[in-house]
A and B are shown apart, each in its own frame.
Chain A
């Protein structure tokens, strides 16, 4: 048995890294969110208020100085949740069959396919986003193909729309859905699949009644890995949505950037973090109940 003191010494480097790189920045973020900001935008260190949190939900009337409900930021939050949810649903619908297909491949081709799937992610995100812009733009390959097939076709006008934003989010996140599902499918004993088909289940039934429930932990992990970054992403929505459809990531980025409202940005980040911790708690509950699905 290791003594407590020794265990502490052994864990010290990890604790130090966590403290400096994780807890300190988070604490700073929460701290800044409570710092008072004077009307000119300058931070008054040492003075605190919860005004930034209030600002998320209310708007201060210039003339009366009273707070009135303001749904602007809530709308943005709402839109972020919808985009994130849509992206999660679409990547799940695409990712589960893909993971199933990869898991069923023979070992050698499996490794090749996994490599091919990760290959695009070795390229810079901006480059990949510009590639998508090229594909989606008016008169791009999609429009060209469609107008070739359907004479008189006017173009989808896809680019700079919510659809384009979600397409971009799906494209840049789908691998985070496939991987955890693939790993949990890989762990399922082959005998389970054979037993299911032996007992009279065809392929579909085996997927629904055996593979889907047994890979639930991977599915939940994949959903979180996709949903969470969606809420915070800002480059994709900025470029593909044409800056017209702001989501939480853009909003926060703007507070720290051109709007110079650090406390509001920090408060929004803190709310986002709280939301993410909530999804994590949901995952815990689902996993704990996972066996009884």
Chain B
């Protein structure tokens, strides 16, 4: 059970956990070095009945960009704070580079954090902020100066050494926080929703930046977010956390294409969830008249949900299609159009089609259209 969550269920053998890292890791001698590992962590905050974390185990490869994704209050920040040493787990253990750090105070852990609030020291200049870690660790002055110079260049803040934090923009403060956390060469960098305070454009820019930095430095990044776009666009692997439990671990495409629960399917991207019953073999019944074939039936349950992404739904071909549906609404979205449909059994279905395609340009509310749900696009999920 624990092994299953660590490695991620149904992980295909050609994806060794960390795709982006495979090449770099192979260069080193330890191909499967562990960056940071949470082993069976439980944590219940005093006064609360529900545990914040219930038996959470995660293994992050060295040099991996790993994202913990989940709605607010799911325990993802607590997981980071336990690794950093700001909170203590009730049971379980945190390992960095294979050795337990549970008894070390935060200032002795080879882990640094980029805080959601950035927590930049307002009384220190940019250079003093970035040099704070090395200074506390007793580096020599020239070494600190060189490291500060190097990092400010890395985060593209050259020349801002003597600037005070109050005179920096949000994006610049973010970069200072990043440079400061990286300065003393931590083995693991924890990032607690670092992009949430930035505006949309800056956020997508910083995503690329972060990924570039991580590839350049090869440091293990553990990134916490509630934003699925951030998770999918940057991560080697993603863990989806829900109410203190791990729902699924896998690469971004695994999580998106092969969600293992209704929660994951619904939380990441848009999805259609259709109630269905298994009628034997690979046949599932949506309603009295509509029978669907799926590529991977589920043996553990008869009453199930079929999940299909809106962009995988094919409209048109009224004569040949298996299903027929009536258009209830269409929503124009620029490049594409969302067609909302009602199936004969009463269930709703959404289809995303090219705005320029035949279905996208011609279907109007009230129209009847054929609907095809490709077998391999349907995920059968337990209720």
Q: Please list the residues of chain A having a beta carbon within 8 angstroms of any beta carbon in chain B.
A: 189, 191-192, 194-202, 205, 209-210, 213-214, 290-293
Contacts and interface: CB of A to CB of B under 8 A. Distances in A.
17 contacts: A189-B119, A191-B119, A194-B106, A194-B119, A195-B115, A195-B119, A195-B121, A195-B180, A198-B107, A198-B181, A199-B136, A201-B136, A209-B136, A291-B122, A291-B123, A292-B123, A292-B164
B115 A199 contact: no
B115 A200 contact: no
B122 A199 contact: no
A205 B106 CA distance: 13
A290 B166 CA distance: 13
B331 to A, nearest CB: 41
A292 B128 CA distance: 11
Contacts of B115: 191, 194-195
B107 A200 contact: yes
Nearest to A200: B136
A197 B107 contact: yes
B123 A199 contact: no
Contacts of A214: 121-123
B133 interface: yes
Contacts of B107: 197-202
Nearest to B123: A213
A210 B111 CA distance: 20
A204 to B, nearest CB: 11
Q: What 8 A-B pairs have minimum CB-CB distances, sorted nearest first?
A: A191-B119, A199-B133, A200-B136, A195-B119, A201-B136, A197-B106, A213-B123, A200-B137
A191 B117 contact: yes
Contact of A199 (B85, B164, B184): B184
Interface string B87-116: 000000000000000000111100111010
B131 to A, nearest CB: 10
B360 to A, nearest CB: 48
A211 to B, nearest CB: 11
B86 A199 contact: no
Contacts of A196: 121, 132, 136
B327 interface: no
B84 interface: yes
Contacts of B181: 198-199
B282 to A, nearest CB: 52
A214 B120 CA distance: 12
B121 A198 contact: no
